[in-house]
Structures are given as structure tokens and as C-alpha cells.
Amino acid sequence: MTTLRVAALYPELMNIYADRGNIAILRARCEWRGLGFELASASIGDELDPHAHDLLYIGGGQDRDQVAVSQDMASGKRDALHVAADRGAVVLAVCGGYQLLGHSYQLGDQTLPGVGLVDLHTVREDGPRLIGNCAIESGLGVIAGFENHGGRTYLGPDEQPLGRVLSGHGNNGEDGLEGVRRGNVVGTYLHGPLLPKNAWLADRLIALALGVELEPLDDRLEDAAHGSARRAAGL
């Protein structure tokens, strides 16, 4: 049986705004199609096998939890994440997890290390948190969700965003860009959780991770949830 093997990174620390719902949707959409689903976790001090997972997931987190997570990730999981991404595993990172995919997250006089999977950095600048419903045009389709971040993220010159902001703040409230996408590595500020509000995106990620085409499901409820998230963002 074809099985999606998922690793959740730091699930007990990086799961703000019900971000664990992303895992529930991946599981449901595999099982509804008769695909296998395996879930492993790797938290502080755990080894990460770079060959054992098709999709690696990290959710959002509070600044204080990101301090411990960033150190463990950069010292103990950086190489494994690079090897996994190089062999085409999907890496999905939301908000606090997204920030840690880059080079660094600067919090006042403290600089948290990132794993450098993508060329970006994040700074906790003065100014309000960037909060609200958000929708982006991603090239794959419209992604709708909710953002709440103090950090502002800046992409390097050759890095591509996940999408362009249609409504909301995005990476930094200024350049109109949201998230990052480099091959199968996807980072975004959007909670909701992300995948329950954008079930079509869950399918794209499963298909990328497994290298298969997926049969459609009856998505009336999922499409209604997506429509409601779009309307909440003013589309």
C-alpha cells in the first residue's frame, strides 16, 4: 500500500492556533483514498532520519518556545532537513516554524538560528503584530487563512514567495509577498489551520510527497470552509 510517512517536528511546542489540524487533514485525506498514513514525531533531543519521511511538518509557536526549538533544530536537525529536502521530501512550515527555515530570527538582542533551508531572515521590529485574515494568490490557487506574527520576514533576492498578498499583511506588511516556496519546501504565515481551510493544498502536498496523482474526493464541506475563509479575508 502507498503510505504517506509524515514527521511532525516539535509537535508539543510548535502547535499554536490548532496547527496540529494540518496533520489531521493530511491523515484524513490519505485514509479516505485508501492510502496509508504514518506519523512520527521528532522533538528536542530526538534524532531525525532524513530518509524516513515523505513530508516534514512544523507548526507555529510562541517566541519563548522558539528559543529552545531553534537551538535544537539548528544544532541537531539542520543536516537531516537539508538531506530530506534535497531528496525531494516535502517540508511544510507554518509561522514560527516558517521563520526557523531561514537564516535567523532576531528577537531584540537575541538572534535565534535558523536551518538555512531557504534564503530569508526574520526580525522582530518595533510596530504592531501583523494580525488578521489573509488571502494570497499562490500560482497554485488562492490560499486563505489567518496570520498573527510579530516577526517580519524578508526573502533573499533569488527566493520566491509562496504567493502575493490579496488581503492581509504577508511576510512583512510591506512588500506584498507571503511565504516562501523553493521546490517542495513551503513556508507560510497562514494558520487557520492552513490545510483544513485549503484542502486542495493538502492534496497538492500529498501528491508532491508521494509522486502520485490523487483521485478527487467529495469536497463540498471543504470547499465551503475554503469559501468562508476567503470571504473572511474580504474576497
Binding site for ligand GLN (CB under 6 A): 16, 60-63, 66, 95-96, 148-151
Least Å distance between CB 145 and ligand GLN?
11
Distance from C-alpha of 138 to C-alpha of 158, rounded to nearest angstrom:
17
Output 131 or 221, the one with its CB closest to ligand GLN. 131
Active site residue 226: no
Residue 77 is classified by DSSP as I
Residue of 53, 169, 191, 226 marked catalytic: 191
Q: Which residues contact 224 (CB under 8 A, 6 or more apart)?
A: none
Least Å distance between CB 150 and ligand GLN?
4
Output 2 or 62, the one with its CB closest to ligand GLN. 62
Torsions phi, psi of 108, nearest 5? 60, -125
Residue 149 · residue 130 · CB < 8 Å: yes
Output 155 or 206, the one with its CB closest to ligand GLN. 155
Residue of 53, 95, 103, 134 marked catalytic: 95
Output 77 or 169, the one with its CB closest to ligand GLN. 169
Strands (E) located in 116-162: 120-124, 130-137, 142-149, 152-155
Sheet with 185-188, strands from edge to edge, namely 36-42, 3-9, 55-58, 90-94, 185-188, 180-182
Comparing every residue's Cβ against ligand GLN, the nearest one is 60
Active site residue 191: yes
Least Å distance between CB 63 and ligand GLN?
4
Distance from C-alpha of 231 to C-alpha of 235, rounded to nearest angstrom:
5
- Burial string for 198-235 (b: 16+ CB within 10 Å, else e) reads bbbbbbbbbebbbeeeeeeeeeeebeebbeebbebbee
Least Å distance between CB 201 and ligand GLN?
18
Output 84 or 130, the one with its CB closest to ligand GLN. 130
Task: Tell me the DSSP string of 104-127.
Answer: EEEETTEEEE---SSSEEEEE-SS
Least Å distance between CB 161 and ligand GLN?
17
Enzyme catalytic residues: 95, 191
